[in-house]
Structure 1
Amino acid sequence: MITVTERAKEKALELIKAENRPSDSFIRVGVAGGGCSGLTYELKFDNVTQPDDKVFEDKGMRIVCDKKSFLYLVGTQLDFSDGLNGKGFQFNNPNASRTCGCGESFAV
């Protein structure tokens, strides 16, 4: 399962509204090769699911992940921080054995 914190949910809903996205929009998460640690996180809004997608709902927010990425993201919590040390969405991934200094890439 992939979950969201209350802060991440609130910020996602705020962005969906501000960007005039369809009301059935959800958060799509994934991973791609790249970054200094080997894998990078992907995050976007979408409103179309694919046949092999894993679909979760947490705190009333739908989170969708492709089957391959789910192997790397199982148990991950999506958070949002607007503090001095960083602003934006953050992946709290228990599977990441190493992350880069900026937190944008990881390895398992």
Structure 2
Amino acid sequence: MVTITRSAADELKSIFKAEASMEPADCGLRIYVAGMGDHGIMYGLRLDNARHDHDLVLDLSGIMTLIDEKIAPSVQNIVIDFTDTHDGRGFVINDPYLCCGHR
């Protein structure tokens, strides 16, 4: 299914520790559909501690990951990474089936 790289997991754990409004054990990463782009579905990421009946709850690299079961088939191959380069820092969602590589 979804892969979270070590660098992304480490950054998420740091964010969870710094987020005062969330208990560390309840912190999760929600993957959601953010819209449609030129190359298909665009996904978004957000911190979330609300679980819904239709959520798949996965432990990926030590990160509680929440995915609506309706979009689960479309996220099977994505890789969530964190980059920190001279161009900037942030999370990147890669899908090997997109022609341009990044969303």
* 1:3/1:63 contact within 8 Å kept: no
Query: Post-superposition shift, 1:86?
Result: 4.4
**CA-atom RMSD in angstroms:** 2.0
The aligned residue for residue 5 of structure 1 is 5
Counterpart check, 1:48 vs 2:50: yes
What TM-score do you get using the length of structure 2 for normalisation?
A: 0.81
Rounded to whole Å, the distance in 2 between the matches of 1:50 and 1:99 is: 33
Consecutive unaligned residues in structure 2, runs of 5 or more: none
The worse-fitting range, judged by mean Cα deviation, of 83-92 and 55-64 is: 83-92
Q: Superposed, which structure 2 residues align to 1:4-83 within 5 Å?
A: 4-20=4-20, 21-23=22-24, 24-83=26-85
Q: Superposed, which structure 2 residues align to 1:87-102 within 5 Å?
A: 87-94=89-96, 96-99=97-100
* 2:77/2:95 contact within 8 Å kept: yes
Partner amino acid, structure 2, of 1:22: E
Report the secondary structure of 1:10's partner residue.
helix
Partner amino acid, structure 2, of 1:40: M
Partner amino acid, structure 1, of 2:11: K
What TM-score do you get using the length of structure 1 for normalisation?
A: 0.78
Question: Share of identical aligned residues, percent?
Answer: 31
Partner amino acid, structure 2, of 1:4: I
Aligned residues, how many?
A: 101
Consecutive unaligned residues in structure 1, runs of 5 or more: none
